[in-house]
Amino acid sequence: MAETINPWTSTPGEDIERLFEEFGIEPIGPPSRDLPELPYFISRGIVVGQRDYGRIASAIRDKTPFHVLTGFMPSGHPHLGHLMVMKEVVWHVQNGGSGYIAIADREAHAVRGISWEDCASYGKEYLRCLYALGFSGKTYSQSRNRRLHDLAFEASTKVNWSEMVAIYGFSAETDLAHQIAVITQVADILYPQIDSGPAPTLVPVGIDQDPHLRLTRGIAHKLRMFTVEERDGYVSVRSKEAPPEALSAVHRAFSGSRKYSGHVDIRGLPYGVVSEKVREIERSFGGFGFYSPSSTYHRFIPGLTGGKMSSSVPESIIGFSESDAAIKKKVMSALTGGKPTLAEQKESGGEADTCPVFLLNLFHMVTDDAELSDIRWRCVSGEIMCGQCKKETAERVLAFIRDFKERMDEVEHLVEERDGSDI
Ligand code: TRP
Ligand code: SF4
């Protein structure tokens, strides 16, 4: 049976390349070459996979509009495991994207049983983190965004039960709330395009969220009035559900085009020009004109105890409101890539590349590449032992968290100001 990635139970990360291949996720390398500047999360191999990222990279390079959206389930306090996706959003906003954050309170309430009060207070913590990192843009809670509900309803007309079974492995016992959570997330992903108009939209996520991307890409396509396809020497515009007048409008927009029943063929124009014009016509006839969303996939920062960073294993995470003493203790007792004996480690060095302590530095604690490679070198050459290395890392983590907390306090008002809005 084909494997499914289930967003609620799977703990992926072991064999990310195999999953990429199976689900058609492409490596980030080729499209990222269009970026004027490579962010550290790509150059350090943290963000590794993508779908249609080329569109986003060209939008950054050409300074054309694009959106960036992600969502957070407010089912607990934010911690270091959430930071990567936040930084990806902020970087893309700083590079020209219009930013959107969904607080997935409906999902947290329906799937995890979190009370609405807790959803609201956890949600605010996530937003404080984002603003502390420099986010600007729009934010909303799923439960309060009326246009989102309408979009979810519209999207639901394009999915049937067999797709839910195939993508998520749902069974006859699956409650309706799971399906509502899924279709609400589909609406999240398309929301920036109904809020600010069609444009390429980047959704940075962990691989566990890819099922939602696959589903949304299918729905975005089904919600289009037209399919625009490159053929041998011409571009074909096919009506799916377009009113007949809209197809005539396409015909009229391109002189020399030929109209058949259900499609118009256009010669002598590049695909991009035709598809943009068709999108405009679709919009003028009340259609959505969606771009299919793009996505990036990052590796997960390992928990301090080895597995994933997860609130359900308190020793695995570093939270933003933990005391210095608690943080220090966690880092000092973390699992490492060290050898069983000091003699062995001196002789053959540690395994930095899989060591949770090293990866903490690589993901978030050391911004300078030369410093990071020095830390790695001291480990693999057996120059430094784990005790000392953890001590140095703990100092970095404490400095980082202190500074981050301060910044979170400074941006508190931004979260409160937003609270008055109806989305
Ligand atoms: N389901 C996501 C999670 O479990 C949260 C989420 C909700 C989301 N809406 C989204 C993620 C839209 C990306 C895009 O964390
Ligand atoms: Fe990890 Fe540091 Fe030990 Fe190397 S020396 S294995 S990086 S803790």
List, for residues 385-396, the tens digit of each pLDDT value: 999 999 999 999
Query: What's the whole-number mean pLDDT along residues 307-313?
Result: 87
Q: What is the C-alpha separation between 400 and 82, in angstroms, rounded?
A: 15
pTM of the model: 0.93
Q: What is the C-alpha separation between 69 and 137, in angstroms, rounded?
A: 10
List, for residues 240-250, the tens digit of each pLDDT value: 989 999 999 99
List, for residues 348-357, the tens digit of each pLDDT value: 999 999 999 9
What is the structure's pLDDT at 28?
A: 95
Q: What is the C-alpha separation between 420 and 423, in angstroms, rounded?
A: 9
Ligand 2 atom with minimal separation from the 386 CA: 3
Atom 4 (ligand 2) nearest CA: 379
Ligand 2 atom with minimal separation from the 375 CA: 7
Q: What is the C-alpha separation between 223 and 190, in angstroms, rounded?
A: 11
Kindly state the helix (H) or strand (E) to which residue 265 belongs, with its residue range: strand 263-267
Closest CA to 358 of 383, 338, 340, 333: 338
Residue 104: strand, helix, or coil: coil
Query: What's the whole-number mean pLDDT along residues 13-36?
Result: 85
> Sorting pLDDT into bands at 50, 70 and 90, what band is 161?
very high
**Better-scored residue on pLDDT, 3 or 267:** 267
List, for residues 47-102, the tens digit of each pLDDT value: 999 999 999 999 999 999 999 999 999 999 999 999 999 999 999 999 999 999 99
Please give the radius of gyration of the chain, using alpha carbons only, rounded to the nearest integer: 24
List, for residues 143-158, the tens digit of each pLDDT value: 999 999 999 999 999 9
What is the DSSP-derived secondary structure letter of residue 306?
S
Q: Which strands make up the sheet holding 263-267, listed edge to edge?
A: 226-230, 234-239, 263-267, 258-260
Distance 76 CA to ligand 2 centre (A): 30
Q: What percent of the chain has pLDDT over 90?
A: 88
For the chain, give the mean pLDDT: 93
Tell me: pLDDT of 125 over 90: yes
107 lines ligand 1 (CB under 6 A): yes
Q: Which of 357, 383, 390 to mutate to test the pocket of ligand 2 (most atoms within 8 A of CB)?
A: 357
Q: Look-up: residue for tokens 């784990």? A: 386
Q: What is the C-alpha separation between 419 and 98, in angstroms, rounded?
A: 20
338 lines ligand 2 (CB under 6 A): yes
Burial class (CB in 10 A: 0-12, 13-18, 19+), 44: middle
Atom 7 (ligand 1) nearest CA: 71
Q: What is the C-alpha separation between 246 and 282, in angstroms, rounded?
A: 7
Tell me: pLDDT of 12 over 50: no
Distance 17 CA to ligand 2 centre (A): 25
Distance in Å from the first CA to the final CA of the chain: 41
Tell me: pLDDT of 3 over 80: no
> Sorting pLDDT into bands at 50, 70 and 90, what band is 421?
low
Q: Tell me which of 14-18, 143-147, 304-308 is least confident.
A: 14-18
Distance 292 CA to ligand 2 centre (A): 42
What is the DSSP-derived secondary structure letter of residue 299?
P
Tell me: pLDDT of 398 over 50: yes
Tell me: pLDDT of 4 over 50: no
Q: What percent of the chain has pLDDT over 70?
A: 95
Ligand 2 atom with minimal separation from the 390 CA: 8
